[in-house]
Amino acid sequence: MSRNQELFDRSRQLIPGGVNSPVRAFGGVGGVPRFFQRGAGARVQDADGKSYIDYVCSWGPLLHGHAHPKVLEAVRTAMEKGLSFGAPTGLELEMAELLCELVPSIEQVRLNSSGTEATMSAIRVARGFTGRSRILKFDGCYHGHSDSLLVKAGSGLLTFGQPSSGGVPAELAALTTVVDYNDATAVRAAFAEFGHELAAVIVEPIAGNMNFVLPEAGFLQLLRDLCTEHGTVLIFDEVMTGFRVALGGAQSLYGIRPELTTLGKVIGGGLPIAAFGGRRDIMSCLAPVGSVYQAGTLSGNPVAVSAGLATLRLAQEEGFHMALGEVTHAVTEGIAERGRAAGFPMVAASVGGMFGIFFRNGLPRNLPEVMECDRDTFNRFFHGMLDEGIYLAPSAYEAGFVSAAHGSAEIGETLDAAERVFAHLRTAS
C-alpha cells in the first residue's frame, strides 16, 4: 500500500472525508489525494517520495514558488521575536501602507485571517453603511463559506437565492439575489427590481472558482455604473486575483474602482492572512470608531504579515508580472494546442499567473457554459498528468496557478508530458 493511501485511510477515520477542505479529497476526479511533505520552487514531493511540478501553488498564495529564501528569512526573523501578541505591531502598519499604495481604491484596510472572513466582513460593512440588507452575487463565484454566500441560482432569468449547503437558513439565502456571470440583461433586471434594497454587489472581477472565466467587455463597467446610480457598494473579491494577475489586482487591469476590495492568499505568502479595505467613509463604519463589529484574535499575525510583505516586495520588481504572464501563457496554450492536435476540443485562458483549461470549443462565459466541458476527459487527463509528475487542480472547475519559480525546464517537462498523455487518451478512446 502506498503511503498516500495509508495516510488517507487513517485520515478518514478522524477528519470528515479525510481532508480539511473538500476539493482536496479528489472527489471530482476520483482516486487517492496526494499528501505532500515538502516543496521547493515549482516542485512538490508527496508522502511516497514522488516529485511533481505544481500548478496549484497552494491555490494561489505561492507567487514565488515553494520555500522562497527571502520569504523564509522573513518568517524566521519574525518567529524569533514572537509568534503572536494580540496587540498592534509595526508590521501591521507596514502591510496597511503597502496595500493602500498598491491598490489605489483602498484608503483604509483591516487585516484578518481568511478570505471567508474578509468577504463576510466586507458585506457586513456594506450593509451597515447603506442600511440595506440584500446583496447580489453571481452563480459560480465563490466568496467563502459564510451563510449569505453559500447560495446558488434557481431557474429563470432572475432568482432569489437558494441555499447550496446544508445548515444555511433559507431566510438568509432569500436576501441574496443570484444571476449568471457576464449576463448584463439579468444584472439590469436585478437592479430594476431590487436596486433600492441592494447593499452590495460582490463579484470576482476574474472568476476563479468555476475554473477561470474572464469578464466580457463592459461587464464590470456596467456593475460600476449601476452601483453608482443606486447607491450600492461594489465589492471586488480579489482574494485570488489580487497581486496574482497584476500588481494592482484585476481592478488595475480593467480600470474599475470598487468601493471595497477583499484580499487574501498572496498577501500571506503561504500563511493564513486576508484583508478587506476601501473607501475611508465606508471603512469608518467599523468598530471601534463605528457601529459595525468585526474582530479577530490573530488578525495581523506578525509571522503571516512578514511572509506577505516579503512576497509583495518581490512582486514589485520591474517586469515581474509580464514575465509571469508569459510563462503561464506558454504552458496553458501549449497544453491546449497539444490537446487540439490530438483531436480534443480544448481552449485555454490566462492572465498573469492564473489560468484555466477547458475541454470544449470556445471559452466559457458563465457557469452553465463551464458545466458543458467534458469532465470525463478532464479527469482522465488529470490522472495521466499526475502519473507523469504534473500536479494540476483536482477538479475541472478550479483555476490553476503558475509561480515565478516555473521556468523553461518546467514548461518543457509539462508540455512533453501533455503530449504523451493526449496520445494515450486518443489511443484509448
Active site residues: 142, 237, 265
> How far is it, in rounded angstroms, from Cα 366 to Cα 315?
30
Phi, psi of 284 (to 5 degrees): -70, -10
> How far is it, in rounded angstroms, from Cα 209 to Cα 58?
14
CB 178 within 8 A of CB 159: yes
CB 224 within 8 A of CB 251: no
Which residues, 6 or more positions from 19, have their beta carbon under 8 angstroms from its beta carbon? Answer: 11, 25, 33
> How far is it, in rounded angstroms, from Cα 349 to Cα 364?
10
Joined together, the cell numbers standing for residue 277 give 479595505
DSSP-based three-state secondary structure for 128: helix
The amino acid at 393: A
Q: Please report how many Cα atoms fall inside a 13 Å half-sphere around the Cα of residue 301, on the Cβ side.
A: 21
> How far is it, in rounded angstroms, from Cα 144 to Cα 170?
18
Q: At what angle do helices 375-387 and 408-428 cross, to 10 degrees?
A: 130
How far CA 40 is from CA of 30, 66, 213, 394, in Å, comes to 27, 5, 29, 21
Q: Which residue has the cell 452563480?
A: 139
